[in-house]
Structure 1
């Protein structure tokens, strides 16, 4: 596999598509790509951006990607203005197959089944890359946005796959206002869809999960009142008041989405949440009027589920990103594999502009606080091409199965 990367931050979407594609082709050592990965700001005119890509890349190549809060390359961590990034891929002794499922809005589970049934049989399949639209209803001033859950999508997909595969990917998010997202699905632009790329041939993927939260205390709480993405009570008490008491104030409510806290779901009831890979986090999007309850980002919790309150730690996020990336690179070296390309899917809540610098770091530029910089620096040192984007939900294998994650980063390094 050969790779070329391109970037643009141009307000004119058509020109942005042209620029990003031209830069990618200029960096590549080939003229015709076998696959294009492309992500652009959700505020951008996707149709015009797509036409700009086609103007340079032609009409035959499949383009896979869509809306993003921002993008990441070897040189850029970009989420202001109109960021867009493109990777052009040329396969050698490897290949991929694509599938697209519509109707995510009606049934994520059936969309997952449709994806798996549409994919051709691949005896050498080694990775499934999954993208889907996070937002079901964008919401309004008086109504919270409603999200498409990842759990039933993954269940439907895994149920129909001919053999188990590591699944990694993301729920797309285009802006912090939870507007509807769009996807580039081969040769079309769709909404309320899920799409998959399955890689085969002489490819092996290495997947790392970067965390950034730690338990607020050792106490666990049982969900006793919940409907969809609205969580009303914990241990039979109003959830908002429970968190106020545990946190020591109501200041955690000041940001929406909530930036200081999230909810931790143990991988199993006996899991030790001090261990990174023993839990998955769930973002709190906000608080219902009159403190009636919490608005969750993903509607996948249920009554009887035990959770733990987790405090976000930018310092822990940086440490986890650095340690996880170093461990992946060391494992690749030990296995005698050659890294070809890295894809990083980072939670939009982890971008630097939402970090609050400790007093001792007050003189540092805000970009220096971003955990994605750790990933970028290490991959640059290893000379690995990097494309990344900021998303709503991250998906990765964890504790024995693929799961939807929040407040996390997922790094995939493709090797041969």
Structure 2
């Protein structure tokens, strides 16, 4: 494993090679900042490691055991040697043709090779277009994947790939190629399982409400009232002021899965960031269009102290869950908005993961557009404003 920084891909690849040693791996997982040229990175890795497959892609930033950064020139790799831990890769580059259809085809192909309860890492290009700005919606990809895969138990986790925090672009390393508008699923062997912890720190500050008018990602009404007015009233904000930026930093809309009356567990919630508000329509626009008419939601409070407390609790829970196990690798898939440059947090929450995770477990992470993990002990969903900590280990 290596985590380095250089504007020269050849230098970065050489430093990675020096860090992992002379033995030639069978496969690389690699994530690098979006200021790198992806073809130059792949060529440099091939020079250093030989013609082995490379999976991963662009990242708004990279997190390692001893350092992190989101300046655009970071590179992190994991070298895989043991055939017993090597995943099989399934790839689609059809996201532009329809995200749900591409996800369904990917899930169907994974279902043909995956063992029951397989650990599968899903990575995908998050950006469909820069001008006009348009995303490959993660909820559509994941819902399609679940449809195509079927009802067999699955441990699906992963995230969307970005070149930077401004959602400028994204690309995927898919073996020996760089791809746009692509998604890959890495299907780990039956002897490998994954433990995941969801960390967001958003807490409900309202009762359950029904979405009574919605169009795509635009929520117009909650319990028959203009959604923006309901949120402003709950927060004590002056009515009639949009304050879109404040809303995006202060609240999300959350859907609780499972028993609605069970005690609060943050891993039971799918939260959707509010991108903007429309004062005239009284509506709010969410980051994903997967909530529907009749969806029951709560207004969720979001602030940096809740986020940091959530990370401390989540890392401690992970340490307890994997203590004494044969742990191979920890992956931290971290929403780019949680970085202090975006959130304004005085402490980088990624540093809490680096410092708190049991030190013998190798760690690599990347700043993502969207995160994917099992929610409420059930199927996997796309997530916003979330850190997903995943530890791959040999199955007990």
Residue 323, structure 1, aligned to residue 313, structure 2 = yes
**RMSD, aligned α-carbons:** 2.5
Residue 38, structure 1, aligned to residue 30, structure 2 = yes
User: Which position in structure 2 is the counterpart of 1:56?
Assistant: 48
TM (norm. structure 2) is: 0.89
Moved over 6 A (4+): none
1:7-406 matches, within 5 Å, as: 7-10=4-7, 15=8, 17-58=9-50, 60-119=51-110, 121-123=113-115, 126-140=118-132, 145-161=133-149, 163-215=152-204, 217-249=205-237, 253=243, 255=245, 258-268=248-258, 270-272=260-262, 274-288=264-278, 290=280, 293-333=283-323, 336-356=324-344, 366=346, 369-379=347-357, 381-399=358-376, 400-406=378-384
Distance 1:290 1:86 in 2: 48
Unaligned residue ranges in structure 1 (runs of 5+): 358-365
Structure 1 residues 254 and 270: alpha-carbon distance in aligned structure 2, compared to 1, 3 A threshold: closer
The residue matched to 1:255 in structure 2 has which SS?
Answer: helix
Distance 1:214 1:392 in 2: 21
Distance 1:185 1:287 in 2: 38
Structure 1 residues 20 and 90: alpha-carbon distance in aligned structure 2, compared to 1, 3 A threshold: farther
Distance 1:278 1:222 in 2: 18
Unaligned residue ranges in structure 2 (runs of 5+): none
User: Which position in structure 2 is the counterpart of 1:362?
Assistant: none
Distance 1:321 1:37 in 2: 25
The more displaced of 166-175 and 324-333 is 324-333
Contact 2:3 2:63 in 1 (8 A): no
The residue matched to 1:166 in structure 2 has which SS?
Answer: strand
TM (norm. structure 1) is: 0.85
Structure 1 residues 243 and 387: alpha-carbon distance in aligned structure 2, compared to 1, 3 A threshold: same
